[in-house]
Amino acid sequence: MHKENNNIPSIKSKIGIVIPALNEEKSIGMVIDKLRTVMKDYDFEIVVVDGKSNDHTVEIARQHNAQVIIQRKKGYGNALFGGYLYCTEELDCNILLTIDADNTYNAEDCPKMIDRILSEDSDYVVGKRLVTSQSMSTSHRFGNKAISFLIRNILHVDINDTQCGLFAFRSYLIENIDFFTTSGWALNTELLTRAVESGMNISEVEVNYNPRIGETKVNTLHAGAINLAIILRMMRDSEPLMLLGIVGVIIMLIGIIAGAFVVFDYIETGVVHRTNLAVLSAMLVITGVQIFSLGLVADMIKRRQQKRMHIPHNYYKK
């Protein structure tokens, strides 16, 4: 049970707990009841975002006194988008917490994440899952570690488990998120990246991870491909010089290597026999230089401009 933290300031905070759900009738009621028990000392609202379930998920959620909205489009990211907007625009929540509907996460871990934010120690708190072979398959564990490694080292986000579905943050972060291009599982990556760019204090807390109730809806390869795509897009937007610079240098090196064969052949024979290779080499070097230069220009523009997203009203529906 949650014990009140005396270090938490008396500033009024309202927490919006967003639960994306699709055919989770076996677990949704249990998850809501546990949240109400452990969060009873906080001012909070539970919002279930239903992906047009064909079972009794919506009815059960409403029976357990959760607010239910129906997402307009498919996708995990789209569900969170609708839930976040509803919590901030309709319920005036200034802290958002996300937890899955399948009981994979323990509600008891939520208060310690919220306390981190209320104590002003962190602005964004993500769970570090304590995973077992029973709670997650080998392929999923490998995929999560691979994506987290890439995000840590390419996007400089110092988090061990970037794909954890239990996380909380101050609501102003969503003003800087391009939800229209991030409708899938890669929303975790987008949120973390924008949190870093916004200068948020980010921390990680250990959370339990249980075998899910019901059938999994996550395809490891598909989720991994989406995350790789979002990483490339994030690099394009936040680190254009790194992305275009690497691509430009690689193309230049290929062109130089190809040109080296032409030069060596000319030194030995005194005649240029591989004219096609010589032309290809020149084109590759020129192309590489142009891409690298484009990276420099994009980096300069990125540093001078600050992108602001327009968040539409009434994106959700009850």
**pLDDT of amino acid 152:** 79
**Range from 53-62, 184-193, 267-276, 279-288 carrying the lowest mean pLDDT:** 184-193
172: enclosing H helix or E strand: none
- What band does 185 get if pLDDT is binned at 50, 70 and 90? low
State how far the Cα of 169 lies from the Cα of 157, in Å rounded to an integer.
Answer: 15
Q: What is the mean pLDDT of residues 298-315?
A: 55
**pLDDT of amino acid 33:** 97
Q: Which CATH class is domain 15-237?
A: alpha beta
- What band does 203 get if pLDDT is binned at 50, 70 and 90? very high
Question: Could you tell me which of 61, 47, 35 has the C-alpha nearest to residue 92?
Answer: 47
37: number of Cβ within 10 Å = 12
Pairing of strands 124-130, 67-70: unpaired
Rounded alpha-carbon distances, angstroms, from residue 127 to 68, 124, 141, 165, 169: 25, 10, 15, 8, 12
**pLDDT of amino acid 78:** 86
The radius of gyration computed from the CA coordinates of the chain, to the nearest angstrom, equals 24
**pLDDT of amino acid 8:** 43
The answer to whether the beta carbons of residues 1 and 38 sit under 8 Å apart is yes
**pLDDT of amino acid 2:** 44
Q: What is the mean pLDDT of residues 77-85?
A: 90
State residue 142 phi and psi, 5-degree precision: -65, -45
The residue count for the chain: 318
State how far the Cα of 100 lies from the Cα of 98, in Å rounded to an integer.
Answer: 7
3-state class (DSSP) for residue 72: coil
pLDDT above 70 covers a percentage of the chain that reads: 77
107 pLDDT above the threshold of 60: yes
Q: Which two tokens stand for residue 139?
A: 């392929």
Question: Between 314 and 298, where is the model more confident?
Answer: 298
Q: How far apart are the first and last CA of the chain?
A: 32
- What band does 254 get if pLDDT is binned at 50, 70 and 90? very high
Boundaries of every domain in the chain:
15-237, 240-302
Partners of 16 in the β-ladder: 45, 96
State how far the Cα of 160 lies from the Cα of 126, in Å rounded to an integer.
Answer: 10
Question: Could you tell me which of 78, 88, 87, 105 has the C-alpha nearest to residue 20?
Answer: 78
Question: Could you tell me which of 103, 98, 97 has the C-alpha nearest to residue 30?
Answer: 103
pTM: 0.72
- For 5-28, how does the pLDDT look when each residue is reduced to its tens digit (9 = 90+)? 444 444 578 999 999 999 999 999
- What band does 157 get if pLDDT is binned at 50, 70 and 90? confident
- For 110-141, how does the pLDDT look when each residue is reduced to its tens digit (9 = 90+)? 999 999 999 988 999 999 998 765 667 677 77
